[in-house]
Structure formats: C-alpha cells, structure tokens
Amino acid sequence: MPLIRQLAFVVNAQKAGASELATALSDLAQAAGVNVRRTDEPTVPSGWLRGQDACCVIGGDGTILGVAVEAARSAVPVIGVNRGSLGFLTTFSEDEARANFPALLAGSFQVTPRSMLSCTAGDVSGDLALNEVLIKDEDSSRLVRLEVFADGELVTEYFCDGLIFSTPTGSTAYNLSAGGPLVHPGAEVIALTPICPHTLSNRSIILQQGVKLRVRPRSPDARLLVALDGQRSLHVGAQAAVEIAIARERLLLVQRLDYSHFAIMRAKLKWSGSTTEKSGS
C-alpha cells in the first residue's frame, strides 16, 4: 500500500489512556516525517478528512461510527485502535498499534472495504449507516406494525418492537443481540431482523446485493423513529415510508497483513475450539 504522509487522529479522550496513546503515536508519525492533525471531538465536520492518507481512530467502535460517514465520503482509510470493550472495528490493540505503527506508516497494511447502508425517510435527506438502520415507533414502549417491500414485492407485515436492517459489519452489533445471524464482512447483503416479533415464525432474512427496500407503517397513528448506527436519528412524518439500500460508499478499514476475520470472532465472542485443522479418519 502507499506510504502514509498525511495522517488525521480522532481521539475519544473519555477512554482511559486514549490521549496518551494518541500523543505517542503522533510522535512516531511526526518522527517519520508524517504531517499530523488531531481532534478530540466525537465527530468530524464535513471536509475535515479531505486530503488525508489515513485516519487513526483511538477509542471504541462507537468512536469509529462517529467518523465512518465522513471517512467513507472522503475515501480515507481508517486505522482503528481499541481503547473500548469488544472492538470489532478497532482491530488494533494498544500494544499492536505501538509495535506496528512504523510499518503501517510505511504502507505495510491491507485495506478492506466495508459496505454501508443508504437510508431516506420521507422528505428527509438521505444518510449513511455502517452498522444498521433501526426502525421503531417514536414511543419506545409501543409495538409497531411495519410493512416491508423488497424491489416492490411484499415481504411481509411485521408486528414487533422494531426492525433492524444490518450490514455484515453490523451483524455483530444490535443485530446479534436481537438474535440475528453473523455475516461475513465480505458479503454484499442486508440482514433484516425483527425485534421481539409478535409472530414467532418471523425470523431474520438475508437480502441480496442491489435490493431496494421500502418500509411503510401500517399502524394508523404511527410516527417512526429511524436510528442510524445508534448515533443519528431521523424523525419521520405520519405514514411516511423509509427506503434502504446498500450505499455506493464504502468504509475503508485498515488491517494488518495477517488479519483473520475468524480469529477476531473467536477472540471477541470467546468461541472455543482448536485452531488446528483436524484430519479426517
């Protein structure tokens, strides 16, 4: 990969040790002749990443979610350093970041694109989500009746607490907590998972690449809340529809050359089992 000569740092200063780590990595970068800029704000303004070769995010996955839309629109790769808890997106630990940072700056890394969702709600301008789009009633205590169409064809009508439309990246987030499937991040699909559906046979559905989804409220007085990555919300007028599709934009995620998705799953989800392939009998 190309050398990193322009590097932006986005730091969640609320995470223990994040500021100190950012200073140490920034010093390493500057010693290598890299131009550095830094913010401790949770989100970055439009255009702030323009012209950067990479963005180093120090915090948890939530910190990356706050940067993801701007990074995707600017086509700037993101280096995620974990100072949070699970850290599916922040794949570098502090020790790994310190040990590998000179090599990263010299281009020793791979970039994997992660699909995102585009969402338009009624007359509200469209927005992007890296993990998921959640649709529910504005009154969180109420069940909502939602009708889902895929490419104009009725899927079904759900009576539930809400619907989660997840990317493969987001399959380890709210989707997983709601009983949805784990999806490999290389798959270009959308996972639709109902939350506490009234009909027990309603289960997750995997929808194909290129599908255009449309969600309509069927409850006569429903006002929908559309939440993107748990960070931004769109309030939808009565009876307005929500449209969801796989976006053109991708988040470019920096990973080590020896990165293994399944090794991360085993470690983060505490799966058991040997890493040595067993021979057949």
Tens digits of per-residue pLDDT, 53-64? 999 999 999 999
- Asked if pLDDT for residue 260 goes beyond 60, the answer is yes
pLDDT at 160 over 80: yes
Q: Of the residues 53, 61, 137, 161, which is catalytic?
A: 61
Task: Compute the mean pLDDT over every residue in the chain, rounded to the nearest whole number.
Answer: 92
Gap between the Cα atoms of 92 and 254, Å rounded = 9
pTM for the full predicted model = 0.92
Q: pLDDT for 69-86, tens place per residue? A: 999 999 999 999 999 777
Q: Which residue has the tokens 């390493």?
A: 28
Domains of the chain: 6-109+256-268 (3.40.50.10330), 116-249 (2.60.200.30)
Per-residue pLDDT, 200? 85
- Which residues, in sequence order, are CB contacts of 9 under 8 Å at separation 6+? 22, 25, 26, 36, 37, 38, 39, 55, 56, 57, 58
- Residues 214-251: tens digit of each pLDDT: 999 987 777 889 999 999 888 777 778 999 999 999 99
| pLDDT at site 281 | 43
For residue 61, indicate whether it is catalytic.
Answer: yes
